[in-house]
Each structure stands twice: as structure tokens, then as C-alpha cells.
């Protein structure tokens, strides 16, 4: 068994690749593993605990050897079950950040100590960056 770990994620890379049917470089590659309502699923361990996650996120980690927790991975082909990483559209996950680039969940403590919490939260709501 070939275990691979990136960040807090661990998976069996041999099992991952056995569940992908590769055809041509430009074709969609079929996922023959577990499927959820809108995505393919793969069993991994996060922080030592077993769980199911999107197979395309584990494939991204496996191919590029980097974490993708702060990224959105969508498909340019429109097939949510495609596993050809050439079809991945990878972008920063703006839902995890405030409009000024601060990671969500980290600002409250900073703002309370600086007395700016309310002003910044009002500013974020007014900008409505999530509707861009």
C-alpha cells in the first residue's frame, strides 16, 4: 500500500488511481468509485480520522503535491465526475476570506482588541464581494 500525506490529509494513492479510467489526454476520465449527489467521493484520513471527501481534491493533492484547502476546484468540461486534472479550473476560494484577504474566523479577535470589529463587518457587508 502506498500512503501519501499532504498537510493533514492521508490517502492510498494506488487505490485512488485504480478508480480512474484514463482515456485520451483531452478526454474526460471516468471515476468508477463512490459517487455523491454532485461529486465523486474518496475515502481518506484527515488528522488521523477516516472520512469521505471529493476525489478531485485528493487527485489535485496527489498530482501537484500541494494542499488545496484554500482553493475551489471546478471542471471546465462541465462533468462533475471527470477526473482529468487538465479539465480542472482552480481558483482561490473567496468564501474563506474577507474582501481584504483576511482569513475568515481570524478577524474577530483582532477586531475586538483594536475596537474595529463593527466598522469592518459593516464594510464587508456593504462591499458584497461574494456577489461579484
What is the model's pTM? 0.70
On whether both 13 and 69 belong to a single domain, the answer is: yes
Give the domain range for residue 126.
Answer: 97-131
pLDDT at 2: 87
Q: How far apart are CA 87 and CA 132, in angstroms?
A: 24
On whether both 45 and 84 belong to a single domain, the answer is: yes
3-state secondary structure of 82: coil
What is the rounded average pLDDT of the residues 75-79? 89
Highest-pLDDT range among 11-25, 32-46, 93-107 = 11-25
On whether both 35 and 88 belong to a single domain, the answer is: yes
On whether both 107 and 86 belong to a single domain, the answer is: no
Number of domains in the chain: 2
**DSSP label at residue 120:** H
On whether both 78 and 114 belong to a single domain, the answer is: no
pLDDT at 18: 95
Q: How far apart are CA 40 and CA 80, in angstroms?
A: 8
- Which residues lie across from 6 on neighbouring strands? 9
Amino acid at each position: 500500500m502506498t500512503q501519501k500525506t499532504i498537510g493533514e490529509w492521508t490517502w492510498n494513492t494506488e487505490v485512488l488511481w485504480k478508480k480512474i479510467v484514463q482515456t485520451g489526454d483531452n478526454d474526460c476520465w471516468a471515476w468508477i468509485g463512490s459517487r455523491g449527489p454532485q461529486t465523486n467521493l474518496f475515502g481518506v484520513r484527515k488528522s488521523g480520522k477516516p472520512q469521505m471527501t471529493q476525489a478531485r481534491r485528493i487527485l489535485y493533492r496527489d498530482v501537484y503535491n500541494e494542499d488545496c484547502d484554500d482553493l475551489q476546484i471546478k471542471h471546465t468540461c462541465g462533468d462533475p465526475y471527470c477526473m482529468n486534472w487538465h479539465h480542472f479550473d482552480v481558483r482561490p476560494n473567496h468564501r474563506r476570506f474577507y474582501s481584504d484577504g483576511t482569513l475568515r474566523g481570524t478577524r474577530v479577535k483582532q477586531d475586538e482588541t483594536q475596537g474595529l470589529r463593527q466598522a469592518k463587518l459593516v464594510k464587508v457587508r456593504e462591499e458584497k464581494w461574494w456577489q461579484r
